[in-house]
Amino acid sequence: MAKNTPQPNQDAPAGTTVSRRDFLSLGAGALGLVGFLQTGGMALQFLAPRRVDGEFGGVVTVGSAESFPPGSVTEFPDGRFFLARASDGGFLAISRRCTHLGCAVSWHATPGQFACPCHGSHFDLRGNVENPPAPRALDTYPITVRDGVLLVDTAQAWQRDRFAPEQLVYV
Amino acid sequence: MTWLNEMIDRLRYRSVPPSEDRHRMRAVANNIVLHLHPTRVPASALRFSRTWGLGGISALLSVLLIITGVLLMFRYDASIERAYPAVLAIETVIPFGSLLRGIHHWAGNLLMITVVLHMVRVFAAGGFRGERRMNWVVGLGMLVLVLIFNFTGYLLPWDQLAFWAITVGTGLLTYVPLAGQAISDFLLGGPEVAQSALRNFYALHVALLPVVLIFGLSYHFWRVRKDGGVTIPPQTEQAPKLTTIPHLVTAELGVALVTLAGLLIFAMAVPTPLEALANPAHPPNPAKAAWYFLGVQELLLHMHPLAALALAGIGLLGLAVLPLWDRDSSDEGVYFRSATGQRAGMLGATFALVLTPLLVLVDDLWLDLPALLAPISTLISNGLLPLMLTLGGLAGIYAGMRGALRARHSEALVGLFSFVMVALVVLTAVGIWFRGPNMALVWPF
Ligand code: HEM
Ligand code: FES
């Protein structure tokens, strides 16, 4: 800082007082830093991921449980998921986003598997990987049951390594 | 026509064409475009084989991309409902729209190639040491910038190609530990490629990146002069110097005209790809990234995404620290350092040509590491293990060059560099031509 100016704090006890010049430049520096961080924070918030109205991410009402026979898979294109019903009657809302690099998988009823056309991953009805390169089972969305009607919340997908029985939802 | 020539000369030099060397030199110093040049250049720096004109061609293409890009902006609309119809109209209705889009598209792709070749040329001439180390890093930054330019531009037509290439490309990002998902969400402005992503990419492509490009290039050129011009071998006797006008300016003009003519003919002959409107429910099979990422995508088929990303990152880092890694400037300006260096380079290239396709075949058809080492996590059997094997192989090549060829450090690095570059080209070629439905190996002919 003030290198070539006279030091005004000669008579102040050492270490207890700061010169006015040092105090002011320190304060200005600190204010500048705060201002910089604030501006950066504002820019980040301004650019942050946002949700456009009407795009996917809301709660999808899929209907009453009886309309889905056990062992069936029904696609909900707007919700980006498949409603799968295991043979014991439990439900899973399986994201259609392939866990490899994010392509959309499709359901093939005859071999009974989800297939991803991009790099050839296959998954079974419960989302387990049957054929890599996908590293883990398909994501799921939380299901809630209200008056016998299933609701799927697509705001946040749940990641899982593989299927476990407690993931199934029963009516 | 002499009156026309005279008028152009007056515009160019603000007076009659300078006839004496002294005046010619002042004309360079006084003109804003020519000012980038020194007033005189060593005769040996003017030889075409010194630069192959690659930096100049890249600069010309950048200017061309800005001009055609600004024109396209007048007809383009970054909304998922209107982007595709806008590009379709450019292709089919608007006079010369198809040509304009073609020039922008192919210039962007050509730039990718010329920038990489430019880097290879600078590496071969040893132009990254001493004073020039800063500009080597700046140049590497420009290479990454061109990649980002192409990546963001790829999404804009909003066709199937665009949608799925960006989906797969940003899917790759999600494997970056800890921050990956956040970075991908931030870039896309949401969890999937949709309206926010298109708007983000558009803002980057036509506003932020061009500003960075213009400042970056200006700095790059300024540093070339600061660092003493193009790298040439040390001169034994007093080297003859020639004035920039006419010697350098004429050569530049010649290269520029040939490039423009070639690009124009290509853009007229080869239609710019445009597929069906993006359909988020139905990816095409196979879904490939843009061609310049296919080398990395090919790696992905053979190892865990984390390992492939790490390998790409290590390669880029190696290039960035090259000025510190190889400081031996005794052979500055000699292509490939020496006869031994040349041999190392040839050997590295040959290795890569043989070894890379072989490894791709073996891993694709016979070797299944994760199944072989079943109880071990795939993160190790398919990630750490192939990564270590690859890095070990690279170290082996370096050591082999040092031992068998008695190559110096910097000559052995030529061999390593040439191996890595040729391997990347082979992987890219496999990705472009030899991968069919389900990314299975196919024979293209
Ligand atoms: C290094 C520079 C640049 C590169 C490598 C590049 C590359 C690309 C690519 C690959 C596309 C996709 C075009 C297609 O395949 O159809 C594109 C589109 C586009 N670019 Fe650029 N670009 C560059 C600079 C610019 C600049 C400076 C602007 C404007 C200021 C611009 C404006 C546009 C527009 C409006 C489109 C959409 C129209 C279309 O898709 O045909 N570009 N760019
Ligand atoms: S994205 Fe599904 S297999 Fe690659």
| In the block, residue with structure tokens 């866990």 | A99
Instruction: Indicate the range of A23-37, B26-40, B388-402, B424-438 predicted with least confidence.
Output: B26-40
Q: How far, in Å, CA of B397 to CA of B412, rounded?
A: 9
**The pair of three-digit structure tokens given for residue B105, joined into one six-digit string:** 């598209």
pLDDT in tens, B292-343: 988 988 888 888 888 888 999 999 999 999 998 888 878 777 888 888 888 9
pLDDT at B17: 61
Which one of the ligands is nearest to B113 CA? 1
Q: Ligand 1: which atom is nearest the Cα of residue B157? A: 40
Ligand at shortest distance from the CA of A118: 2
- The nearest alpha carbon in chain A to B199 belongs to A47
- Poorest-pLDDT segment among A124-133, B27-36, B249-258: B27-36
Interface test with B, best of A46, A51, A56, A118 (most B CBs within 10 A): A118
Taking the CA atoms of B304, B309, B310 and B312 in sequence, report the sign of the dihedral they define: positive
Q: How confident is the model at residue B32 (pLDDT cuts 50, 70, 90)?
A: low
Verify whether the Cβ–Cβ distance B285 to A51 is below 8 Å. Answer: no
Confidence band of B15 (pLDDT split at 50, 70, 90):
low
Of B240 and B87, the one with more pLDDT: B87
Q: H/E/C letters for each residue in chain B?
A: CHHHHHHHHHHHHCCCCCCCHHHHHHHHHHCCCHHHCCCEEEHHHHCHHHHCCHHHHHHHHHHHHHHHHHHHHCCCCCCCCCHHHHHHHHHHCCCCHHHHHHHHHHHHHHHHHHHHHHHHHHHHHCCCCHHHHHHHHHHHHHHHHHHHHHHHHHHCCCEHHHHHHHHHHHHHHCCCCCCHHHHHHHHHCCCCCCHHHHHHHHHHHHHHHHHHHHHHHHHHHHHHHHCCCCCCCCCCCCCCEEEHHHHHHHHHHHHHHHHHHHHHHHHHHCCCCCCCECCCCCCCCCCCCCHHHHHHHHHHHHCCHHHHHHHHHHHHHHHHCHHHHCCCCCCCCCCCCCHHHHHHHHHHHHHHHHHHHHHHHHHHHCCCHHHHCCCCCHHHHHHHHHHHHHHHHHHHHHHHHHHHCCCCHHHHHHHHHHHHHHHHHHHHHHHHHCECHHHCECCCC
Phi, psi of A143 (to 5 degrees): -110, 135
If residue A41 lies in a helix (H) or strand (E), which one and from where to where?
Answer: helix A20-47
Interface of B with A in 344-403 (CB under 8 A): 370, 378
Residue B195 has pLDDT above 50, yes or no: yes
Where does the pLDDT of residue A6 fall: very low under 50, low under 70, confident under 90, or very high at 90 and above?
low
Q: Select the residue from B164, B299, B442 to test the A interface by mutation, using most A Cβ atoms within 10 A.
A: B164
For helices B83-92 and B97-125, the axis angle rounded to 10 degrees is 100
In this prediction, residues A18-28 reach a mean pLDDT of 91
What backbone phi and psi angles, to 5 degrees, belong to B22?
-60, -45
Asked if B192 has any chain A CB less than 8 Å from its own CB, the reply is yes
Mean pLDDT of chain B: 87
Q: Two tokens at A6?
A: 């006279």
Q: Name the least confident of B30-44, B60-74, B158-172, B401-415.
A: B30-44
- Spell out the domains of chain B, with CATH numbers in brackets: 42-282 (1.20.810.10), 285-445 (no CATH)
Question: Which of A97, A93, A60, A87 minimizes the C-alpha distance to A169?
Answer: A93
Q: Are A105 and A111 in contact (CB under 8 A)?
A: no
> What residues does each domain of chain A span?
17-48, 59-167
What span, in angstroms and rounded, lies between the C-alpha atoms of B58 and B110?
A: 9
Residues of A in contact with B284 (CB under 8 A): 117
Residue B351 pLDDT exceeds 50: yes
Around Cβ A133, how many Cβ atoms within 10 Å? Answer: 24
Query: In chain A, what residues touch B164 (CB-CB under 8 Å)?
Result: 103, 118
Between B177 and B376, name the one with better pLDDT: B177
Residue nearest to atom 1 of ligand 2 (CA): A101
Please state whether B14 falls in left (phi above 0), alpha (psi between -120 and 50) or beta: left
Q: What is the pLDDT of residue A7?
A: 54
- Nearest-CA residue for atom 3 of ligand 2: A119
State yes or no: pLDDT of B19 exceeds 80: no
Residue B329: partners with Cβ closer than 8 Å, 6 or more residues away: B126, B129, B130
B174 to chain A: which residues are within 8 Å by CB? 102
**A129-131/A122-123 β-pairing:** antiparallel
In the numeric block, the tokens 């084989």 are attached to: B49
Range of A50-59, A142-151, B416-425 with top mean pLDDT: B416-425
| CB spacing of A49 vs B185 below 8 angstroms | yes
Cα pseudo-dihedral B400, B301, B156, B207, rounded to 10:
-40
Q: How far is B236 from chain A (nearest CA, A)?
A: 49
| Contact partners, residue A147, CB within 8 Å, separation at least 6 | none
| Rounded average pLDDT over B207-216 | 96
- Tally of CB atoms within 10 A around B48: 10
- Of the pLDDT bands very low, low, confident and very high (cuts 50, 70, 90), residue B243 is confident
Give whichever of A120-134, B93-107, B379-393 has the largest mean pLDDT: B93-107
The shortest C-alpha distance from A23 to chain B (Å) reads 37
Contacts of B261 (CB under 8 A, 6+ apart): none
- Closest partner residue to A133 (CB to CB) among B174, B194, B301 is B301
CATH topology of domain A59-167: Rieske Iron-sulfur Protein (2.102.10)
Q: Kindly state the tokens that stand for B53.
A: 């004109």
Which residue(s) pair with A82 in the sheet?
A75, A94
Interface mutation vs chain A, best among B80, B163, B167, B382, most A CBs within 10 Å: B167
Per-residue pLDDT band for B220 (boundaries 50, 70, 90) equals very high
pTM: 0.86
pLDDT at B241: 79
| A65 — pLDDT class (breaks 50, 70, 90) | confident
Contact call for residues B348 and B417 (beta carbons, < 8 A): yes
B440 touches chain A (CB under 8 A): yes
pLDDT band at B141, cuts 50/70/90? very high
Separation of alpha carbons B309 and B369, rounded Å? 19
B283 and A50 within 8 Å at the Cβ level: the answer is: no
Report the percent of chain B where pLDDT is more than 70.
94
| B195, B281, B284: residue with CB nearest A77 | B281
Give chain B positions within 8 Å (CB) of A101.
Answer: 167-168, 171-172, 300, 305
Separation of A133 CA from ligand 2 center, angstroms? 7
Interchain pair B301, A102: CB under 8 A: no
Per-residue confidence (pLDDT) for residue A2, from 0 to 100 = 46
Mean pLDDT of chain A: 83
CB contact under 8 A, B287 and A103: yes
The pLDDT of residue A1 is 46
Tokens of B143: 């290479």
